[in-house]
Amino acid sequence: GQNIDQPTEMTATEGAIVQINCTYQTSGFNGLFWYQQHAGEAPTFLSYNVLDGLEEKGRFSSFLSRSKGYSYLLLKELQMKDSASYLCAVRDGDYKLSFGAGTTVTVRA
Amino acid sequence: ETGVTQTPRHLVMGMTNKKSLKCEQHLGHNAMYWYKQSAKKPLELMFVYNFKEQTENNSVPSRFSPECPNSSHLFLHLHTLQPEDSALYLCASSPSEWDSNTEAFFGQGTRLTVV
């Protein structure tokens, strides 16, 4: 099966920066996704990386290194509403999307 | 609102009951998915339908039976479930199973409790 690892929990202060790491081992690679999921709500799409490098989208950025099987999601200028679970997902060589267990981020005032 | 609607939002059922979960999307997508989300565990892919044909059954027990009558609707029929089947069941859709750079859109899920 596929193996996708990310930390279980992270805590940060409002206005700060948090970096959520994701490492993966999959059979083939067709892209990496980050989703945000608030409690009791649907996961919503944040970012997509298929080539190495940094993708920036407002306060959120995502980085990918295919050779290292590594990605991170960077959340800048944290706001209270950013408290949520962040899911790393990888599309493998058969186009199947596998998810990590998610990282719960708690933003404190 | 993601464009994917799931009903019911919450369901409590006994182990001898039969119930169905419904998922509907009007995004024009051709692929639909069922995922199981248990606490502190990764989302587990259960079934995939692409253009109404089932393309993936991820070793799911037969007490879960999917149905996809058309590209807009997906059902999950449940019977004789076990307490360990209690979880959040998420439906998702995407333009096609084979598009690598398009994200899946998720519904809000059905919180299932088996008693």
Provide the 3-class DSSP secondary structure of residue A66: coil
Mean pLDDT of A66-74: 97
pLDDT band at B38 (very low <50, low <70, confident <90, very high): very high
Return the pLDDT at B94: 92
pLDDT digits (tens, 9 = 90+) for B47-67: 999 999 999 888 999 999 999
> Does residue B6 carry a pLDDT above 80?
yes
pLDDT band at B98 (very low <50, low <70, confident <90, very high): confident
Return the pLDDT at B92: 95
Q: Measured between CB atoms, which of B42, B98, B101 is closest to A100?
A: B42
Mean pLDDT of B3-14: 96
Spatial strand order in the sheet of A53-57: A3-5, A18-25, A70-75, A60-65, A53-57
Mean pLDDT check: name the lowest of A27-36, A64-73, A90-99, B29-38.
A90-99
pLDDT band at B1 (very low <50, low <70, confident <90, very high): low
Q: How far apart are CA B3 and CA B92, in angstroms?
A: 10
Return the pLDDT at A96: 85
Q: Measured between CB atoms, which of B42, B100, B109 is closest to A30?
A: B100
pLDDT band at A1 (very low <50, low <70, confident <90, very high): low
Element (H, E) at B112: strand B110-114
Supply B23's token pair: 């998922």
Burial label for A83, CB within 10 Å (0-12, 13-18, 19+), is middle
Give yes or no for B96 touching A (CB within 8 A): no
> Does residue B2 carry a pLDDT above 80?
no
Q: Choosing among B34, B43, B102, which should be mutated to test the A contact, i.e. which has the most A CBs within 10 A?
A: B43
* Contact (CB, 8 A) for A31 and A50: yes
* Contacts for B28 with CB less than 8 Å, ≥ 6 apart: B95
Comparing B57 with B111, the larger pLDDT belongs to: B111
